Structure 1
Amino acid sequence: MKRVLITGAAGFLGSHLCDRFIAEGFYVIGMDNFITGDHKNIDHLLENPNFEFINHDVTNFVSIDGELDYILHFASPASPIDYLKIPIQTLKVGSLGTHNLLGLAKAKNARILIASTSEVYGDPLVHPQSESYYGNVNTIGPRGVYDEAKRFQESITMAYHRFHGLETRIVRIFNTYGPRMRLNDGRVIPAFMGQALRGEDLTIFGDGSQTRSFCYVDDQVEGIFRLMFSDYSYPVNIGNPNEISIKDFAFEIIKLTGTDQKVVFKDLPKDDPMQRQPDISLAKKLLDWSPKVDREEGMKKTFDYFKGLSEEELRKSEHKDFSNHIKR
């Protein structure tokens, strides 16, 4: 049985990846320190004989007993409300954490997949964004702690690939959604759905003309899985190119939830990207991958998940205005 280490295992994407690799017959070692992860995302796996969990911060030395075939590094805050609140930890997990895991992969002769992000493109001057675009990032802006952590992560990964001959893979993840997202994590979909479920008006930052492209979690996991077992070492975009403005998306949420909330507008946070749409030509060619779940279907599944949360969980998720964290 092949053994795989998944960091950030108690997070949204990490926990879904644990499910997928177990279903594919792997022995999964999950690792998380619960800074942003949630125990409930992996509770269903704790009795599974093909899963073990290690509570550990990957910015400290990482040691795994026995053989290890694969590593997926998904440990990192991924939402603005998190990485603006813990900027140093965000930088450390992208740098020290990645260095530790690359060292582990080298010691174990394991293939490693690094979770990068569309945020490496910053506020793009090219649309849609392809892997050949170098980005437009403010290195000293408040969002730079996340953007630059991921850009450095890609650089050190390629250095290990070129200098040590390490088997590496890099996925650039575009906005992904689905069950197990946190309602209070500051991202668009959980923020809108939490507000709708609590009967609050939906908050848009800026005039709502900025665009996003949302990929359902099952499609994202499929793309990541295929990339891990491909022969390609350079970054690959995985996302859904179906683009929509935030304003139009807010009205989609109101229609989906059957509520009659208004839309209210607040100042746009500094360096918030105005456009986000993946060019997935490479993923189609290399991985024979493209998203299968359309937004209407995926949003219904996600809303059904959020509707199942307790009243206490909904209260805990009350909208937090993270724009205060985003100052020059």
Structure 2
Amino acid sequence: MNTGRKRILITGAAGFLGSHLCDRFIKDDYHVIAMDNLITGRLKNIEHLFRLENFEFYHHDVCKFIHVPGNLDYILHFASPASPIDYLKIPIQTLKVGSLGIHNCLGLARVKHARVLIASTSEIYGDPTVHPQTEDYWGNVNPVGPRGVYDEAKRFQEAITMAYHTFHGVETRIVRIFNTYGPRMRLNDGRVLPAFIGQALRGEDLTVFGDGSQTRSFCYVDDLVEGIVRLLHSNCADPVNIGNPDEITISQFAEEIIKLTGTTQKVIYKDLPVDDPKQRQPDITKARKLLDWEPKIDRAEGLKRTYAYFKSLTKEELYQSDHIDFEKYIVR
């Protein structure tokens, strides 16, 4: 039955960001087609949507041929390992989803005359020599380092997306996502925020890699989703930074987590992994001008919501390990 709803395909739909995007487009009365091979995604993130008549799920790897029957208005390509734990464990899959996966999505978009938005990342800037990072900065990336599999996959994604836009006339959008946090993050996925909160909840010392002077800028997931929606419906084919420019050092952030959680544990310091970026701060001038967007939820409120989610996890989830030996990736 044709309900007149817009139809949108979201790859990586069972992941942290993908699941929040599913929620948003269901709320906006779209027909959502979710796709995920569940290599890092979790069905529990979207199981509340299965009962809805305007939601369907495909357990499928986007690196293989994609077939979606019927018309399609939009494609959001968010399938990709996104944390150091993941892309250091599965480097080949990370490169494939950023090459074969995006190629399949762009081919589908061309056939369906759909607009496609791809999830790029601040990691395309590498360890930046320009601060804050603007969209016209080309980056400082080591293509053969351990992080290169993720960084270069995203850089290739941008290149092939722009090629489909200029050569085939496909309507494309590119979002460069900076550090984002919120409910449904995996507690032990190697990213700094869930790592700190997980350690605090387990009564462990908080581990800071490096001297703690490196910076990050954290954006709450609801703000990010709003920016993505606005970009999707904009006329901008060039990359756009979406993130929160409120910069903080990792040491300061660890102290915020200690205060938030009330833990009595201390901060311990270990050597910095190879190619770990020293600074992360988005310049969001373009997003403000073109999308009338900027983050609304400050870090204190966002952390409060995120901590409440992590506190609700079961003991089994709290102690479930996604551990990887970062000692292999330390500069000596």
Taking the TM superposition and a 5 Å limit, the aligned residue runs for 1:38-57 are 38-57=42-61
Q: Please tell me whether residue 326 in structure 1 is matched to residue 326 in structure 2.
A: no
Provide the residue aligned with 2:164 in structure 1: 160
Provide the residue aligned with 1:229 in structure 2: 233
Question: Alpha-carbon deviation of 1:199?
Answer: 0.3
CA distance in 2, matches of 1:226, 1:77: 24
The letter for the 1-side match of 2:326 is S
Provide the residue aligned with 1:183 in structure 2: 187
CA contact (8 A) 2:241 2:286 kept: yes
Q: Please tell me whether residue 93 in structure 1 is matched to residue 88 in structure 2.
A: no
Please give the per-residue CA displacement for 1:276-316, whole angstroms capped at 9, x wherever unaligned: 00000000000000000000000000000000000111111
Question: Alpha-carbon deviation of 1:6?
Answer: 0.1
Please give the per-residue CA displacement for 1:112-161, whole angstroms capped at 9, x wherever unaligned: 00000000000000000000000000011110000000000000000000
Provide the residue aligned with 2:173 in structure 1: 169
Taking the TM superposition and a 5 Å limit, the aligned residue runs for 1:1-328 are 1-317=5-321, 320-326=323-329
Compared CA separation, residues 33 and 321, structure 1 to 2 (3 A) = closer
Residue correspondences, number: 327
Question: Alpha-carbon deviation of 1:259?
Answer: 1.0
Compared CA separation, residues 321 and 205, structure 1 to 2 (3 A) = farther
CA contact (8 A) 1:10 1:41 kept: yes
Structure 2 unaligned segments of length 5 or more: list them: none
CA contact (8 A) 2:272 2:330 kept: no
The letter for the 1-side match of 2:8 is V
Question: Alpha-carbon deviation of 1:324?
Answer: 3.3
Please give the per-residue CA displacement for 1:32-61, whole angstroms capped at 9, x wherever unaligned: 000000110001001011100000000000
Alignment partner of 1:166: what SS?
A: coil
CA distance in 1, matches of 2:13, 2:328: 27
Question: Alpha-carbon deviation of 1:327?
Answer: 6.0
The letter for the 2-side match of 1:320 is H
CA contact (8 A) 2:271 2:330 kept: no
The letter for the 2-side match of 1:207 is D
The letter for the 2-side match of 1:198 is R
CA distance in 2, matches of 1:161, 1:300: 41
CA distance in 1, matches of 2:319, 2:303: 21
CA contact (8 A) 1:84 1:325 kept: no
Sequence identity of aligned pairs in percent? 73
CA contact (8 A) 2:22 2:32 kept: yes
Structure 1 unaligned segments of length 5 or more: list them: none
CA contact (8 A) 2:178 2:241 kept: yes
CA distance in 2, matches of 1:243, 1:61: 41
CA contact (8 A) 1:84 1:326 kept: no
Alignment partner of 1:64: what SS?
A: coil
Alignment partner of 2:248: what SS?
A: strand
CA contact (8 A) 2:128 2:279 kept: yes
Compared CA separation, residues 54 and 325, structure 1 to 2 (3 A) = farther
CA distance in 2, matches of 1:97, 1:125: 30
CA distance in 2, matches of 1:66, 1:290: 35
The letter for the 2-side match of 1:23 is K
Q: Which runs of 4+ in 1 moved over 3 A?
A: none
TM-score (norm 1): 0.98
Alignment partner of 2:313: what SS?
A: coil
CA contact (8 A) 1:80 1:322 kept: no
Please give the per-residue CA displacement for 1:196-230, whole angstroms capped at 9, x wherever unaligned: 00000000000000000000000000000000000
CA distance in 2, matches of 1:324, 1:85: 14
Question: Alpha-carbon deviation of 1:231?
Answer: 0.3
